Amino acid sequence: MIPFCLPLFRLVGLSLLLLGGHSHALEATPVADGVYAFLGDNGEATPVNGGFVANSGFIVGPEGVVVIDSGASLAHGKAMLAEIDRRTGKPVELVIITHAIQDFVFGAAAFAERGIPLLAQRRTVDLMKARCENCLAHLIPLVGETAMSGTRLVLPGRVVENSQRITAGGRTIDLLYLGWASTPGDLVVHDPQSGVTFTGGMVTAERIPELRDADFDGWLKALEQLATLDTRHLVPGYGPIQLPAAVVLMADYLRALDERMRALYSAGVGLSDAVDQADLAAFSGWALYPDLHRRNALRRYLHLEVEDLETPPQ
């Protein structure tokens, strides 16, 4: 049976990863036959969790392993590699970076040290070039010098533009680019053999998503396409392993946010008051709600202002 809620694993995994800045063991969670996930703690990056807040994983083929996202630091990436070696005894043939958010990209240096190729959508690579050095400078004081020791930005050398089917490690994998969604270069990784889908930034579970890099309408359209995929289990970018209904729930949050902010904007409520009145009780139990939801409300209000200014008078 698939474990959908694993708080004890997270505590054990995090403590082993970070204890004293020396021990870096991780334990992967089985999702389906030959598919595993590393589940982060779903909160903010801190010295306690060492930046291990997001999910990553790997797919095991007959000849090798494909990794999805690389973790938040060199130590995190090395811990992933050690667990993959222990579990499979097979070489990692490819790392897929799903999107350019700091929690997913900085472990890539550990894989690059082994000469393992990195792959991402072109716009993800462009965004990494533009800002990830600054993201790293921001992350180090949040997590601590020891946990981030040796961490550096490594850009993917393999670039894709559109959706495509690839074979790596002897296993067929679908890379889906559904357009600009949570970030410009979101990739979804689907394993047809198991029916497991790694959503990257497209879906979060039990955590408020972030609109900072999003195309709001594009995200909703991409979620509609994602909902039609033949998925049995879903590994979100953050949070526990999910059933496919998590895609609908993600869209529900975005639509509820949009509806609330449009109502406030149309009623002439100013920006500051609108953010204060943007509460969505149905989602208040999600991680980071007090801060991220307010930031999302502010951004959505500003988007609506821009839309209003760009709409020609009737």
**Tokens at 58, concatenated:** 């790997």
Task: Decide if 294 is inside a domain.
Answer: no
pLDDT, mean of residues 167-183: 98
DSSP 3-state assignment of 2? coil
pLDDT band at 314 (very low <50, low <70, confident <90, very high): low
* Residue 249 CA, distance from chain mean position: 16
pLDDT band at 6 (very low <50, low <70, confident <90, very high): very low
Q: Inform me whether the pLDDT recorded for 8 exceeds 70.
A: no
Identify whether the C-beta of residue 14 lies closer than 8 Å to the C-beta of residue 70.
no
Q: Inform me whether the pLDDT recorded for 3 exceeds 60.
A: no
Task: Decide if 193 is inside a domain.
Answer: yes
Task: Decide if 167 is inside a domain.
Answer: yes
CATH of the domain at 18: 3.60.15.10
Q: Inform me whether the pLDDT recorded for 13 exceeds 70.
A: no
In this prediction, residue 234 carries a pLDDT of 98
In this prediction, residue 308 carries a pLDDT of 87
DSSP 53-90: -S-EEEEE-SS-EEEE---SSHHHHHHHHHHHHHHH--
Q: Inform me whether the pLDDT recorded for 7 exceeds 60.
A: no
Q: Inform me whether the pLDDT recorded for 18 exceeds 50.
A: no
Provide the 8-state DSSP code for 290.
I
Separation of alpha carbons 51 and 147, rounded Å: 8
Task: Decide if 287 is inside a domain.
Answer: no
Task: Decide if 262 is inside a domain.
Answer: no
The residue range of the domain holding 62 is: 7-252
Q: How many domains does the chain have?
A: 1
pLDDT tens profile 88-141: 999 999 999 999 999 999 999 999 999 999 999 999 999 999 999 999 999 999
pLDDT tens profile 225-262: 999 999 999 999 999 999 999 999 999 999 999 999 99
* Cα distances (angstroms) measured from residue 294 to each of 68, 272, 278, 279: 30, 10, 7, 8
Q: What percent of the chain has pLDDT over 90?
A: 89
Task: Decide if 268 is inside a domain.
Answer: no
Task: Decide if 123 is inside a domain.
Answer: yes
Stronger pLDDT, 121 or 8, i.e. the higher one: 121
Task: Decide if 310 is inside a domain.
Answer: no
